[in-house]
Amino acid sequence: MAAGFNLILAVVVCLFLGGAAVAAAKRPNGAWNYYHFDGSRFVAGLAADGKRAVAVRDGVRPVVALPGARIEAVALPAGTGAVAGICYIQSAGGKLTGGAGYLAAPAMRLPISSGTNVVTTVQTDEQGYFIAVLPAGRYVVGEGPLARNVRVESDQTSLIALRVGKRMVD
Protein backbone atom coordinates (compact mmCIF):
# COMPACT_ATOMS: atom_id res chain seq x y z
CA MET A 1 0.00 0.00 0.00
CA ALA A 2 2.84 2.43 0.84
CA ALA A 3 4.51 1.69 -2.51
CA GLY A 4 1.26 2.59 -4.35
CA PHE A 5 0.94 5.85 -2.38
CA ASN A 6 4.56 6.76 -3.16
CA LEU A 7 3.97 6.08 -6.87
CA ILE A 8 0.85 8.28 -6.93
CA LEU A 9 2.68 11.01 -5.01
CA ALA A 10 5.61 10.85 -7.48
CA VAL A 11 3.22 11.16 -10.47
CA VAL A 12 1.43 14.15 -8.90
CA VAL A 13 4.75 15.88 -8.16
CA CYS A 14 5.98 15.26 -11.74
CA LEU A 15 2.73 16.65 -13.20
CA PHE A 16 2.93 19.72 -10.96
CA LEU A 17 6.58 20.43 -11.84
CA GLY A 18 5.94 19.82 -15.54
CA GLY A 19 2.98 22.21 -15.51
CA ALA A 20 5.02 24.86 -13.72
CA ALA A 21 7.81 24.53 -16.30
CA VAL A 22 5.37 24.90 -19.21
CA ALA A 23 3.75 27.95 -17.59
CA ALA A 24 7.14 29.56 -16.99
CA ALA A 25 8.15 28.99 -20.61
CA LYS A 26 4.99 30.72 -21.87
CA ARG A 27 5.28 33.70 -19.53
CA PRO A 28 6.36 36.85 -21.42
CA ASN A 29 9.80 38.17 -20.59
CA GLY A 30 9.20 41.37 -18.63
CA ALA A 31 12.85 42.26 -18.14
CA TRP A 32 14.65 44.83 -20.25
CA ASN A 33 18.04 43.91 -21.70
CA TYR A 34 20.51 46.80 -21.97
CA TYR A 35 23.24 47.35 -24.55
CA HIS A 36 25.74 50.21 -24.43
CA PHE A 37 28.02 51.49 -27.17
CA ASP A 38 31.72 51.04 -26.33
CA GLY A 39 33.18 53.14 -29.16
CA SER A 40 33.03 50.48 -31.86
CA ARG A 41 30.07 48.15 -31.17
CA PHE A 42 27.15 47.47 -28.85
CA VAL A 43 27.98 45.44 -25.73
CA ALA A 44 25.52 43.79 -23.35
CA GLY A 45 24.98 45.60 -20.07
CA LEU A 46 25.04 49.18 -18.84
CA ALA A 47 28.08 51.40 -19.36
CA ALA A 48 30.30 51.90 -16.32
CA ASP A 49 30.32 55.67 -16.88
CA GLY A 50 26.52 55.98 -16.69
CA LYS A 51 26.02 56.89 -20.37
CA ARG A 52 22.87 56.09 -22.27
CA ALA A 53 22.08 52.54 -23.34
CA VAL A 54 19.55 50.90 -25.63
CA ALA A 55 16.92 48.93 -23.69
CA VAL A 56 15.38 46.07 -25.68
CA ARG A 57 12.68 43.50 -25.06
CA ASP A 58 11.03 41.00 -27.42
CA GLY A 59 7.89 42.43 -29.02
CA VAL A 60 8.52 45.93 -27.60
CA ARG A 61 9.88 49.10 -29.21
CA PRO A 62 13.47 49.70 -28.05
CA VAL A 63 14.25 52.74 -25.91
CA VAL A 64 17.43 54.80 -25.54
CA ALA A 65 17.65 55.71 -21.86
CA LEU A 66 19.93 56.66 -19.01
CA PRO A 67 20.51 53.98 -16.34
CA GLY A 68 17.70 53.93 -13.77
CA ALA A 69 15.25 55.85 -15.97
CA ARG A 70 11.64 54.68 -15.96
CA ILE A 71 10.87 52.98 -19.28
CA GLU A 72 7.39 52.57 -20.69
CA ALA A 73 6.86 49.47 -22.85
CA VAL A 74 5.22 50.17 -26.22
CA ALA A 75 4.34 47.03 -28.17
CA LEU A 76 5.62 46.64 -31.71
CA PRO A 77 2.88 46.34 -34.34
CA ALA A 78 2.25 42.79 -35.61
CA GLY A 79 4.81 41.61 -38.18
CA THR A 80 7.33 44.32 -37.37
CA GLY A 81 10.69 44.53 -35.67
CA ALA A 82 13.04 47.38 -34.92
CA VAL A 83 16.49 48.60 -35.75
CA ALA A 84 18.30 50.76 -33.19
CA GLY A 85 21.73 52.20 -33.59
CA ILE A 86 24.21 55.00 -33.23
CA CYS A 87 26.07 57.18 -35.70
CA TYR A 88 29.52 58.14 -34.47
CA ILE A 89 32.85 59.66 -35.46
CA GLN A 90 35.85 57.63 -34.34
CA SER A 91 38.19 59.72 -32.19
CA ALA A 92 40.48 57.06 -30.68
CA GLY A 93 42.25 53.94 -31.83
CA GLY A 94 45.38 53.59 -33.91
CA LYS A 95 47.11 57.01 -33.72
CA LEU A 96 43.99 58.52 -32.13
CA THR A 97 44.26 58.56 -28.34
CA GLY A 98 42.40 59.96 -25.37
CA GLY A 99 38.77 60.85 -24.88
CA ALA A 100 35.81 58.51 -25.00
CA GLY A 101 36.88 56.96 -28.30
CA TYR A 102 34.04 58.45 -30.29
CA LEU A 103 32.00 61.58 -30.85
CA ALA A 104 28.25 61.45 -31.41
CA ALA A 105 26.88 62.43 -34.83
CA PRO A 106 23.70 64.31 -33.86
CA ALA A 107 20.89 65.39 -36.23
CA MET A 108 22.09 63.10 -39.00
CA ARG A 109 19.46 62.00 -41.51
CA LEU A 110 19.62 58.32 -42.46
CA PRO A 111 17.56 56.85 -45.30
CA ILE A 112 16.47 53.24 -44.77
CA SER A 113 16.00 51.36 -48.03
CA SER A 114 14.64 48.04 -49.17
CA GLY A 115 15.95 47.24 -52.64
CA THR A 116 15.93 50.53 -54.55
CA ASN A 117 13.08 52.07 -52.56
CA VAL A 118 13.59 54.34 -49.55
CA VAL A 119 11.18 53.00 -46.93
CA THR A 120 11.72 55.73 -44.33
CA THR A 121 14.24 58.29 -43.12
CA VAL A 122 15.28 58.66 -39.49
CA GLN A 123 17.26 61.36 -37.74
CA THR A 124 19.74 60.77 -34.94
CA ASP A 125 19.17 62.40 -31.55
CA GLU A 126 21.67 64.66 -29.75
CA GLN A 127 23.70 61.59 -28.71
CA GLY A 128 23.74 60.06 -32.22
CA TYR A 129 21.13 57.35 -31.51
CA PHE A 130 18.24 56.40 -33.80
CA ILE A 131 15.35 53.92 -33.76
CA ALA A 132 13.15 52.69 -36.63
CA VAL A 133 10.22 50.27 -36.52
CA LEU A 134 10.02 48.31 -39.78
CA PRO A 135 8.26 45.30 -41.26
CA ALA A 136 10.37 42.14 -41.09
CA GLY A 137 12.89 42.01 -43.96
CA ARG A 138 16.32 43.11 -45.17
CA TYR A 139 17.25 46.78 -45.28
CA VAL A 140 20.13 49.15 -45.98
CA VAL A 141 20.60 51.88 -43.35
CA GLY A 142 22.40 54.98 -44.62
CA GLU A 143 23.78 55.56 -48.10
CA GLY A 144 26.98 55.28 -50.04
CA PRO A 145 30.10 54.00 -48.28
CA LEU A 146 28.51 54.62 -44.87
CA ALA A 147 25.59 52.23 -45.50
CA ARG A 148 25.08 49.03 -43.50
CA ASN A 149 22.91 46.03 -44.28
CA VAL A 150 20.57 44.90 -41.52
CA ARG A 151 18.01 42.14 -41.16
CA VAL A 152 14.89 42.98 -39.18
CA GLU A 153 13.00 40.06 -37.66
CA SER A 154 9.46 40.16 -36.31
CA ASP A 155 9.30 41.15 -32.61
CA GLN A 156 13.12 41.54 -32.43
CA THR A 157 15.52 44.50 -32.28
CA SER A 158 18.67 44.64 -34.41
CA LEU A 159 21.49 46.88 -33.17
CA ILE A 160 23.93 48.58 -35.55
CA ALA A 161 26.76 51.05 -35.18
CA LEU A 162 27.50 53.35 -38.13
CA ARG A 163 30.92 54.98 -38.19
CA VAL A 164 30.28 58.11 -40.23
CA GLY A 165 33.73 59.63 -39.90
CA LYS A 166 37.15 59.50 -38.33
CA ARG A 167 39.02 62.34 -36.65
CA MET A 168 42.50 62.36 -38.09
CA VAL A 169 45.55 63.11 -35.95
CA ASP A 170 49.16 63.66 -37.05
Q: pLDDT tens for residues 110-152?
A: 999 999 999 999 999 999 999 999 999 999 999 988 899 999 9
Inform me whether the pLDDT recorded for 27 exceeds 60.
Answer: no
pLDDT at 107: 96
Can you list the positions of beta strands (E) in 7-115? 33-37, 42-44, 53-57, 60-65, 80-90, 102-104, 109-114
Could you tell me which residues come within 8 angstroms of residue 3 by beta carbon, excluding any fewer than 6 positions away?
none
Burial 124-148 (b: 16+ CB within 10 A, else e): bbeebbbbbbbeebebbbbeeeebe
Inform me whether the pLDDT recorded for 24 exceeds 50.
Answer: no
CA-to-CA distance for 106 and 43, rounded, in angstroms?
Answer: 21
Q: pLDDT tens for residues 75-96?
A: 999 999 999 999 999 886 655 4
Q: Which range has highest mean pLDDT (2-16, 87-101, 141-155)?
A: 141-155
Q: pLDDT tens for residues 31-86?
A: 999 999 998 899 999 988 889 999 999 999 999 999 889 999 999 999 999 999 99
Could you tell me which residues come within 8 angstroms of residue 116 by beta carbon, excluding any fewer than 6 positions away?
none
Instruction: State the Cα angle at 73 between 103 and 88, rounded to 5°.
Output: 10
Q: Quick one: how far is CA 122 from the chain centroid? A: 16
pLDDT at 4: 59
